[in-house]
């Protein structure tokens, strides 16, 4: 076992062994002491650590970058296995449009995500650039189909290799078997399969994917659907995310979050019409809620907008937790515990429900803590 647990950027390093505070391993800076923390730096030790806990019937938490979890302050029994596996390898096929060559880049689950994006852009490979500045580890990205600025990993993932904890077998799941949807996949909400590596199909092109997200289109000064250099998109996305406190920065307390705390609600057409009427009623006939296509007969609105318009101000604090002062969808910890954060989240969700009749659903994974 290595001697030092790699810290979350900006947080102090923790020693492996008993009673390591999980607060040092999560971007929220919240979490009680773990009974035992193990660091897996290669796939064999990852599989062994998991199999060992499962054989002994010990509770197990597999943790990547700690950027999408709300962990209770109570002592956590059993093992925490930190996925710190590294390595990338490339192959090529002719699966691009019109038989164009593509690079199939396979990335170990523990590789820090933003470094993967930066390397792809530097290597002239397109398809990940809009996912710049997202914290966390690569293995977490397929689980909730990480997405931002008009791109999601489902656009480029061709396969995910997983360890099936029930059988001990390693299996390769093709994209079609992963059930990707908005912030969702078949891997979400269960812990019987652990991601070992992820294969992305990337286009050999200095140009990024066509720009579609309004805010990004405006920021690069392109026309919607236009293609601009991937490096330019990466820079623009990093700047936009920083402005929203969505890039980890130890000197910025607004970044002590789990990113978006709630998913954006998706409503069927009838429910959306009722929602529009309720908005008009409450805020006046000229106010239109944001709406985006979300598949046949369904539309998505913005949780950040709902929170704002329900009357919550940026920076609104409650005990040791606060809404980010840069974005209403990020809930941050201001030295409090999981209970403070959850109380704030309930206050926000309750306010939105009362104002607009829409239930917000948390995006992070809850460990010990309850929603």
Can you give the binding site for ligand EPU, defined by CB under 6 A? 148-149, 213, 215, 244, 246, 259-260, 263-264, 290, 302, 304-305, 308, 314, 327-329, 363
User: What does residue 91 show for φ and ψ, rounded to 5 degrees?
Assistant: -130, 180
Q: How far is the CB of 292 from ligand EPU (least distance, A)?
A: 9
Establish whether 363 is a catalytic residue: yes
Q: How far is the CB of 341 from ligand EPU (least distance, A)?
A: 15
Establish whether 318 is a catalytic residue: no
User: What does residue 229 show for φ and ψ, rounded to 5 degrees?
Assistant: -55, 140
Nearer CB in complex with ligand EPU: 77/214:
214
Enumerate residues 6+ apart whose C-beta is below 8 A from 32.
21, 22, 23, 71, 72, 73, 74, 75, 76, 368
Nearer CB in complex with ligand EPU: 85/324:
324
Instruction: Find the residue with minimal CB distance to ligand EPU.
Output: 259
Q: Which of 67, 72, 260, 333 is catalytic?
A: 260
Query: Can you give the three-state secondary structure of 8-34, one letter per residue?
Result: CCCCCCECCECCEEHHHHCCCCCCCEE
Q: How far is the CB of 364 from ligand EPU (least distance, A)?
A: 8
Residue written as token pair 């691009």: 96
Q: How far is the CB of 328 from ligand EPU (least distance, A)?
A: 4
Q: Which of 84, 183, 234, 241 is catalytic?
A: 183
Strands (E), the chain: 20-21, 33-40, 60-63, 69-71, 76-83, 88-93, 102-108, 125-126, 147-148, 151-152, 157-164, 170-174, 193-204, 266-268, 292-293, 298-300, 317-318, 321-323, 331-333, 365-367
Nearer CB in complex with ligand EPU: 45/302:
302
Nearer CB in complex with ligand EPU: 213/366:
213
Nearer CB in complex with ligand EPU: 47/238:
238
Establish whether 183 is a catalytic residue: yes
- Catalytically active residues, by annotation: 183, 260, 363
């Amino acid at each position: 076992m290595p001697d030092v647990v790699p810290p979350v950027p900006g947080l102090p390093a923790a020693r492996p062994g008993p009673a390591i505070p999980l607060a040092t391993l999560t971007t929220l800076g919240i979490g009680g002491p773990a009974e035992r923390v193990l660091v897996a730096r290669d796939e064999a030790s990852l599989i062994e650590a998991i199999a060992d806990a499962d054989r002994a019937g010990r509770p197990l938490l597999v943790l990547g970058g700690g950027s999408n979890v709300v962990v209770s302050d109570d002592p956590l029994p059993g093992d925490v296995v930190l996925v710190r596996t590294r390595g990338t390898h490339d192959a090529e096929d002719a699966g691009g449009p019109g038989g164009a060559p593509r690079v199939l880049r396979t990335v170990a689950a523990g590789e820090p995500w933003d470094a993967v994006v930066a390397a792809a852009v530097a290597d002239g490979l397109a398809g990940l650039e809009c996912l710049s500045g997202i914290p966390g580890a690569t293995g977490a990205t397929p689980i909730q189909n990480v997405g931002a600025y008009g791109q999601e990993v489902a656009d480029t993932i061709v396969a995910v290799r997983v360890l099936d904890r029930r059988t001990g077998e390693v299996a390769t799941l093709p994209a079609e078997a992963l059930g990707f949807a908005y912030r969702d996949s078949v891997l979400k909400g269960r812990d019987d399969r652990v991601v070992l590596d992820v294969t992305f199909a990337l286009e050999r092109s200095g140009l990024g994917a066509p720009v579609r997200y309004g805010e990004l289109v405006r920021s690069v000064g392109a026309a919607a659907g236009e293609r601009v250099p991937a490096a330019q998109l990466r820079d623009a996305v990093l700047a936009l995310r920083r402005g929203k406190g969505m890039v980890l920065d130890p000197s910025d307390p607004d970044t002590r979050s789990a990113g978006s705390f709630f998913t954006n609600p998706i409503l069927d057409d009838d429910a959306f019409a009722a929602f529009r009427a309720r908005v008009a009623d409450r805020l006046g006939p000229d106010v239109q809620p944001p709406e985006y296509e979300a598949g046949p007969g369904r539309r998505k609105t913005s949780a950040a907008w709902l929170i704002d318009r329900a009357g919550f101000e940026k920076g609104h604090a409650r005990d040791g937790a606060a809404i980010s002062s840069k974005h209403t969808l990020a809930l941050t910890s201001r030295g409090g515990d999981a209970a403070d954060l959850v109380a704030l989240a309930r206050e926000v969700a309750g306010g939105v429900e009362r104002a607009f009749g829409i239930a917000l659903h948390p995006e992070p994974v809850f460990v010990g803590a309850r929603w």
